[in-house]
Amino acid sequence: MKLRRRKFLQLAAVAVSLPCALRIVWAQDYPVRPVRIVVGFPAGVAPDIVARVIGEALSERLGQQFVIENRPGAGSNIGTEIVVRSPPDGYTLLLAISSGAINATLYSNLSFSLVRDIAPVAMIGLGPFVMVVNPKLPAKTVPEFIAYAKANPGKINMASQGTGLASHLMGELFKMMAGVNLIHVPYRDNFTADLLGGQVQVAFVPITNVIEHIKDGRLRALAVTTAKRSELLPGIPTIGEFLPGYDATGWNGIGAPKGTPSAIIEKLNKEIGAIVLDPAMKARLIGLGIEPLAMTPAEFGQRIADDTEKWAKVIKFANIKVE
């Protein structure tokens, strides 16, 4: 009787361990067919270009095609939901960007949660923004800008790329922390011409969008939005040097459907980490306005969770709603 019970327990242990062993072997062979990376934006825009650069490198390293699939709409929510509903087998990935952390609160009717339903795979890098002003504004530093804004409440126009987008939220975080009243002016198209012309006086924009205007003096850079100074503008201070705790950085990474085998996630994390730290790739990404940064899946997941919580507070404070 004891022998039968022992045999039963041995067989049960094998039955439990076999699927795990098979998953590990499967992950070692992964990928055995093309992998799609879903991008929630149109072809040709910055996130799409980053996805194609990383996809090309993964194809070379892993011997299978990583195909970019553009599924734009609803602030990238359509693309994210497609990945959430896909089989968790490693063959559908998401180009996850920081706007997803904003959307979690901005859109009240989402059928998914970025934190709950997307498994973090790997960080690609940070997308630093810069606070720029029209040179006609009599403020050459962040403290001078805050003093001027407090002395002239409601008289400074702050441009953004649209309500609820990163350029808007970064400005609202600044307003909240500095205690200033800036008039938000959302644009559907590029607002650079109006910023150069002085119709709007301040904006929070990706560094690469305005770096040439900063260099030729047509715009004045007051500070970068990152926690640390940016390689793209090394001589410009951070906003956090004047408003401790301010950190409003865009980021790009790779996610997968929840339930994707951990061995596949770890393999992709290792490969992407090696890609973004390669000197030639680092230079290429920096040229695209991305500061390469490798993270473990757990670290990337914590970044997503932290940003989701931070932007929720800003959205509620500013009472931001999308139509």
Does any domain span residue 186?
yes
Predicted confidence at residue 310, as pLDDT, reads 95
Alpha-carbon span 210 to 227, nearest angstrom: 20
Q: pTM for the complete prediction?
A: 0.86
Kindly give, in sequence order, each residue whose CB lies less than 8 Å from that of residue 4, ignoring residues fewer than 6 positions away. Answer: none
Predicted confidence at residue 190, as pLDDT, reads 87
The pLDDT of residue 21 is above 50: no
Beta bridge partners of 255: 94, 120
Kindly give, in sequence order, each residue whose CB lies less than 8 Å from that of residue 17, ignoring residues fewer than 6 positions away. Answer: none
| Same-domain pairing of 172 and 234 | yes
CATH code where residue 151 lies: 3.40.190.10
Predicted confidence at residue 188, as pLDDT, reads 86
Alpha-carbon span 118 to 254, nearest angstrom: 10
Q: Which of 241, 261, 282 is the last residue of a domain?
A: 241
Domain count, the chain: 2
Alpha-carbon span 125 to 159, nearest angstrom: 25
pLDDT digits (tens, 9 = 90+) for 285-301: 998 989 999 999 999 99
Strand order in the sheet with 118-127: 66-70, 35-39, 92-97, 250-257, 118-127, 291-292
pLDDT digits (tens, 9 = 90+) for 147-177: 999 999 999 999 999 999 999 999 999 999 9
pLDDT digits (tens, 9 = 90+) for 50-105: 999 999 999 999 999 999 999 998 889 999 999 999 999 999 999 999 999 999 99
| Same-domain pairing of 230 and 174 | yes
What domain range is 105 assigned to?
A: 32-127+249-318
